[in-house]
């Protein structure tokens, strides 16, 4: 008897094909490379990122592939060490915003009524201000530092997570299996842990991946304005700000700017790919 091989559904085939696209593979490689740089910056850097020298504003050369800045510091070493600072801080921003916004979104979506109304009005209030302006106000109030910059960006970033998680919870709150669980006397904490949270993971992962690039960009923006990690910390946004003082010394700002660009683009591409992977509306033949 010959075994019959059933073809995979069109949706599943398309989801697997997403990860084989050259642009998605490139984004994964770029992100993996930057993560490796963040871990191995101490071994990869040819110089101490804080060490000053007499080679002020030296253009790119064999000795300094990315040139030097106004204090003779090697730009390549500072860009590499900047990954060790910018990427972990961006991950901390995303983790904090996801934790705060996710919890509030779960409460708003599952409890509804008064809790939902209060939480959604607070999110509307935060959304009423541009992110970077509100982050600047919070950072200026607490004082410029890496910790305060992360805190400020968590405060301005959590509402989008709350909205998305609330929407995911509302879409499954009326499902029969949740009603059956409640009728059987299952507590709300157990229902949230066993049924609601696992069904909200997909949107949360997609949003977190997209927001990682946004966190890098916002952190660089605060540092560009002098409200991020304090000098002489090798933060990408602060490096761009130093280079913008003299456009003729283009290498001081171009290379950290390219680092920001590649990380943000890679995160956006990867976020789109993950969204396609989790999108339940993907059907074959479309």
Is the domain covering 67-278 a CATH 1.10.3720.10 domain?
Answer: yes
**Hey, what are 280's tokens?**
């339940």
Residue 43, Cβ density class (10 Å: 0-12 exposed, 13-18 middle, ≥19 buried): exposed
Please give the Cα distance from 263 to 186 (Å, whole number).
44
- How much is the pLDDT for 201? 81
User: Which tens digits make up the pLDDT trace of 182-207?
Assistant: 676 666 667 777 777 787 888 888 89
**Hey, what are 111's tokens?**
């409890």
What Cα–Cα distance (Å) separates residue 240 from each residue in 75, 84, 255, 257, 277?
11, 17, 8, 6, 35
Q: Strand, coil or helix: what is 280?
A: coil
User: Which tens digits make up the pLDDT trace of 59-93?
Assistant: 999 999 999 999 999 999 999 999 999 999 999 99
**Hey, what are 203's tokens?**
């949107």
205-211 mean pLDDT? 89
- How much is the pLDDT for 272? 86
Domain boundary assignment for the chain: 67-278
Alpha helix stretches (DSSP H) within the chain? 10-18, 22-44, 75-111, 113-127, 131-142, 146-173, 176-183, 188-191, 201-224, 236-243, 251-278
- Neighbouring CB atoms inside 10 A of 256's CB total 27
User: Which tens digits make up the pLDDT trace of 128-187?
Assistant: 988 899 999 999 888 889 999 999 999 999 999 999 999 888 888 766 766 676 676 666
Contacts of 48 (CB under 8 A, 6+ apart): 77
């Amino acid at each position: 008897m010959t075994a019959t091989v059933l073809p995979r559904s069109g949706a599943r085939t398309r989801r697997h094909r997403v990860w084989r696209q050259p642009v998605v593979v490139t984004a994964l490689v770029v992100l993996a490379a930057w993560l490796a740089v963040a871990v191995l910056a101490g071994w990869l850097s040819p110089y101490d990122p804080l060490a000053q020298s007499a080679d002020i504003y030296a253009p790119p050369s064999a000795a300094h592939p990315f040139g030097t800045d106004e204090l003779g510091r090697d730009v390549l070493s500072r860009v590499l060490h900047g990954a060790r600072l910018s990427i972990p801080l961006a991950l901390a921003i995303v983790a904090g915003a996801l934790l705060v916004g996710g919890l509030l979104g779960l409460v708003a979506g599952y409890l509804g009524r008064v809790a939902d109304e209060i939480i959604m009005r607070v999110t509307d209030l935060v959304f009423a201000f541009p992110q970077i302006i509100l982050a600047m106000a919070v950072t200026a109030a607490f004082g410029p530092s890496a910790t305060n910059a992360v805190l400020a960006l968590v405060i301005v970033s959590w509402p989008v997570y709350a909205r998305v998680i609330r929407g995911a919870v509302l879409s499954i709150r009326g499902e029969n299996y949740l009603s059956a669980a409640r009728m059987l006397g299952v507590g709300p904490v157990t229902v949230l842990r066993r049924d609601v949270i696992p069904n909200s993971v997909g949107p949360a992962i997609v949003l977190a991946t997209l927001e990682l690039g946004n966190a890098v960009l916002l952190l660089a923006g605060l540092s560009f304005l002098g409200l991020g990690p304090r000098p002489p910390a090798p933060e990408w946004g602060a490096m761009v700000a130093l280079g913008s003082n003299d456009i003729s010394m283009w290498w001081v700002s171009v290379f950290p700017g390219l680092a920001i660009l590649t990380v943000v683009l890679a995160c956006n591409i990867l976020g789109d790919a993950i969204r396609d992977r989790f999108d339940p509306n993907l059907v074959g033949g479309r």
